[in-house]
Structure 1
Amino acid sequence: MTQQFPPFLIEGYRNFMSGRYATESQRYRKLADEGQKPTTMVIACCDSRAAPETIFDAGPGQLFVLRNVANLVPPFGPDAAYHGTSSAIEFAIIHLKVENIVVMGHGRCGGIAGALATAAGHAPEGAFIGKWLTMIEEVAGKVEANSLLTSSEQQTALERIVIRQSIGNLMTFPFVKERVEAGALSLHGAWFDISSGELWTMNGESGDFMRPEL
């Protein structure tokens, strides 16, 4: 059944054509003719409040962005039924030859809240979300069981732990591990606070998160 296209999207497109596209039309044409050559891949949550292109003020062709629920990276598993996330990682590394991968989580993540709720015995409804979140069920259970943390502290803790876990899972991909060890690829973690706009980056050695100097 065909319905009217959302009017606010048409209005947004109108603004895009008279604004950003008008000022960067040459860049778009060059990208169309020569293809994309981004140096950085960002694996982020599909939450509408935490768009990487907006947060990093990126122009067309600068970021190769993959978004899914809770910015998760599964372990390397070529025998899995579907490969949406893994195929994007493979394309970014092997075909685009990106030099950086950033796993970016964010505050108040619904996927993380769902994982904690599942650990507490209240799994979210749906046929797909629960299965997807089984990737982090073990660590979610450990965080949820820590009664010394408030619910908001558990939320933030798991959001950041999952970033480290996803980076660890990236290293199970042979072509990622090979390039990291050769110095051709760097892996990074970041966490964005929707409420304050603060960006916290992960120290590659300690795993701690800190705010970069601006």
Structure 2
Amino acid sequence: MQRFPQPLLTGYRNFMTGRYTVERDRYRQLADAGQTPHTLIIACCDSRAAPETIFDAGPGELFVVRNVANMVPPYEPDGQYHSTSAALEFAVQSLKVKDIIVMGHGRCGGIKAVLDPNAAPLSPGDFIGKWMNLVKPAAEQIQSNSIMTTAERQTAMERVSIRNSITNLRTFPEVKALEDGGKLQVHGAWFDISNGELWVMDKESQDFVRLDG
């Protein structure tokens, strides 16, 4: 029999003797009553930027969707498979979250790839390349800016991508209706892995402002 990864077994045992012991009643309540998270977070798959860790969230508090480069596609009811759109639909329509946060982060591999004109597909399917086409037009504009350094282009693209995803969020009719009616708020955030800083997008200017720690 193939062995389960040892670090995960160790982590699970620590969880059972630590956090689960402390929060046992909360887990049992969630099992019986179901989940009622207050916030949907659309985050990147990157292992260094886990929303539950960054926001010190307890069980049942956050509904988290993670994909490459924390992107939201536009509303496309075309009969195809749309995992991010499905999760968004469930969070808004069924769970009735009050806030949606698109959270990007520094040193994102997906953003780095879309900015690299010489990036080669990782497989014949080129799933990442096709997915990152969602922000290709913006990436081409940033690529052409020779005044900016590579690091500056990377950070700029990470933040532009967040704005692009928020624009796409508002193409979903229910999201737009709830936001216009004051029943849902949409936010942008960017997390700096290297120093733990969280930057939040100002709704009026769309600039990113660093939160005090």
Displacement after TM superposition at 1:206 (Å): 0.6
- Paired residue type of 2:23: E
Once residues 198 and 176 of structure 1 are traced to their aligned partners in structure 2, the CA distance between those partners, rounded to angstroms, is: 28
Once residues 164 and 79 of structure 2 are traced to their aligned partners in structure 1, the CA distance between those partners, rounded to angstroms, is: 19
Once residues 100 and 181 of structure 1 are traced to their aligned partners in structure 2, the CA distance between those partners, rounded to angstroms, is: 13
Structure 1 residues 40-60: Cα deviation after superposition (integer angstroms, max 9, x where no partner): 000000000000000000000
SS in 1 for 2:211: coil
Q: State the partner residue of 1:75.
A: 74
- Checking the alignment, whether the CA contact within 8 Å between 2:69 and 2:109 is kept in structure 1 is yes
Q: State the partner residue of 2:35.
A: 36
Displacement after TM superposition at 1:81 (Å): 1.9
Q: State the partner residue of 1:121.
A: 118
Structure 1 residues 10-66: Cα deviation after superposition (integer angstroms, max 9, x where no partner): 000000000000000000000000000011000000000000000000000000000
Q: State the partner residue of 2:183.
A: 184
TM-score (ref. length: structure 2): 0.97
Which 10-residue stretch deviates more, 164-173 or 80-89?
A: 80-89
Once residues 18 and 122 of structure 1 are traced to their aligned partners in structure 2, the CA distance between those partners, rounded to angstroms, is: 45
Once residues 153 and 60 of structure 1 are traced to their aligned partners in structure 2, the CA distance between those partners, rounded to angstroms, is: 36
Displacement after TM superposition at 1:80 (Å): 5.4
SS in 2 for 1:88: helix
- Checking the alignment, whether the CA contact within 8 Å between 1:41 and 1:101 is kept in structure 2 is yes
- Checking the alignment, whether the CA contact within 8 Å between 2:43 and 2:51 is kept in structure 1 is yes
Once residues 124 and 108 of structure 1 are traced to their aligned partners in structure 2, the CA distance between those partners, rounded to angstroms, is: 19
Structure 1 residues 83-139: Cα deviation after superposition (integer angstroms, max 9, x where no partner): 10000000000000000000000000000001101xx23344222111111111100
Gaps of 5+ in 2: none
Q: State the partner residue of 1:6.
A: 5
Once residues 115 and 123 of structure 1 are traced to their aligned partners in structure 2, the CA distance between those partners, rounded to angstroms, is: 10
Once residues 170 and 73 of structure 1 are traced to their aligned partners in structure 2, the CA distance between those partners, rounded to angstroms, is: 6
- Paired residue type of 1:3: Q
- Paired residue type of 1:157: A
- Paired residue type of 1:125: L
TM-score (ref. length: structure 1): 0.96
SS in 2 for 1:137: helix
- Checking the alignment, whether the CA contact within 8 Å between 2:197 and 2:211 is kept in structure 1 is no
List aligned pairs for 1:125-136, cutoff 5 A: 125-126=122-123, 127=125, 128-136=127-135
Q: State the partner residue of 2:61.
A: 62
Gaps of 5+ in 1: none
- Checking the alignment, whether the CA contact within 8 Å between 1:114 and 1:124 is kept in structure 2 is no
Once residues 37 and 80 of structure 1 are traced to their aligned partners in structure 2, the CA distance between those partners, rounded to angstroms, is: 29
Paired residues in the alignment total 211
- Checking the alignment, whether the CA contact within 8 Å between 1:43 and 1:66 is kept in structure 2 is yes
Once residues 155 and 121 of structure 2 are traced to their aligned partners in structure 1, the CA distance between those partners, rounded to angstroms, is: 19
Displacement after TM superposition at 1:211 (Å): 1.1
Task: Name the Cα RMSD after superposition.
Answer: 0.9
Displacement after TM superposition at 1:3 (Å): 1.8
Q: State the partner residue of 2:169.
A: 170
